[in-house]
Amino acid sequence: MAAIGHCFIYILDVLHLRQSAVNWSSLLFMMLVVIFTCYHLLDYFFSYEEKTKENDTTTMKMRLYEEQQRLFPHKTAKWHQTIDAISHQTQVIKEKLEEQQMTAAFEGISEIEHQIDTHKLEQIDDTPSLLTMLLTTYARKAAKKSVAFEHQIDTSLFAAFQEEDLLPLFVHLLDYAFRQAYQHKDPKQRQVALRTEEKEQQLILACSFAVLETQPLHDKSADLRHKQNHRDMLGLKRILRTYQGECTIDDHHDTRKVTLIISRYAKGLID
């Protein structure tokens, strides 16, 4: 763009059109300034949005892991036990090396490697996925708020999702559902159900929850809920665009069903 502008000004000079009533040089300069300013603003906006998304996901993961450690202290104790055993074995190896007992020292090293490999396998078997931890967190939240939360989720279907998309996807959906269900004053009517299924090479994530047939009068809390619902819907649609998905909402009496239909969810389809 800048090169074209310079050529244009040069042609004007050659043709002696400087006497034109229009100040083409200033006009072109201002256009370039506006274009470059808009470009940098857009670039800053998208980079800031991406960084914010990464920070939000990291914070969410840290909270989930901290909660996991709090609920399962035996895992932390087992880890400390393994570290103490390795530390003791290391001291024994140092003594064997000083005594020139090379065979015993190598046996000690093999024992440390075995302990580390064993602990890794235990961690793989025992550590739930981030999605499982997230659903567990919402189950505890539901119990505190007297919400009947039922979920039948095949977490393996989401193995190819990026973490910065997977966690917010469920957070936006469940926050929206819990917010609606909790408006019922009768705890028996507060119900949220979440399930997944594969159908015709599509992943379907359906969330059904109770809603009030008659919405309360608008007040500050209602306006806040409306803004939060709008934010959650925008967040869902943004993530769905990445995976060629769509969102449908169906109301039937006192029940609302939000269905997410995702086309690009398998590794081969995403890659």
pTM of the model: 0.58
Backbone conformation region of residue 153, classed left if phi is above 0, alpha if psi is from -120 to 50, else beta: beta
Q: pLDDT for 36-92, tens place per residue?
A: 676 666 554 544 444 444 445 566 666 665 665 565 555 566 666 777 777 888 888
Tell me the two tokens of residue 233.
């819907």
Gap between the Cα atoms of 55 and 60, Å rounded: 9
Q: pLDDT for 205-242, tens place per residue?
A: 999 999 987 666 566 778 888 889 999 999 999 999 98
Q: CA separation (Å) from 35 to 3, 9, 10, 147?
A: 14, 18, 21, 52
